[in-house]
Amino acid sequence: MLTTVHRTAARIATACIASFWIATVGVELAGSADAVARVKHAIVMPGLLLLIPAIAATGASGFALARARGGALVAAKKRRMPWIAANGLLVLVPCALLLDRWAAASLLDARFVAVQAVELVAGAVNLALMALNLRDGRRLVRQRADAHPVS
């Protein structure tokens, strides 16, 4: 059950960040100022309401699962998780809130672009770290299956 919660929450968190990133790039390339404002608002509401609990559930379930396991893969995942959480809470969430406010006020100036660039880089970093955790999680599942073959 805990494994299912972990896997599901991680997939939701990854899908949220990826969709926020793709929507941001897409609307900047082909959208109007009104479309930018709508995307930025959707990222905040309901996006963050889905993302934040998903990241928290991923971290909590991951640490609970790791209690019973050891090794280099578990250690690597444990080292990445605080960076993912800190990047999300200290960079991505404040950027999202600020960009939503500025877009709603049609303040799409150089400051907006600079903060959005920071947001895109931070989002890409989180996606990369989450992809590494996904890869290592799959390796852990394979190791467990190899250690306990079904007869």
> Is the per-residue pLDDT at 149 higher than 90?
no
pLDDT digits (tens, 9 = 90+) for 101-110: 999 999 999 9
For residue 112, count other CB atoms closer than 10 A to its CB.
Answer: 18
**pTM to 2 decimal places:** 0.90
pLDDT beyond 90 at 52: yes
**Euclidean distance between CA atoms 42 and 87, whole angstroms:** 20
Model confidence pLDDT, tens digit, residues 71-128: 999 999 999 999 999 999 999 999 999 999 999 999 999 999 999 999 999 999 999 9
Instruction: Report the pLDDT value the prediction gives residue 95, as an integer from 0 to 100.
Output: 98
C-alpha pair distances (Å), 110 with each of 2, 103, 113, 114, 117: 45, 12, 5, 6, 10
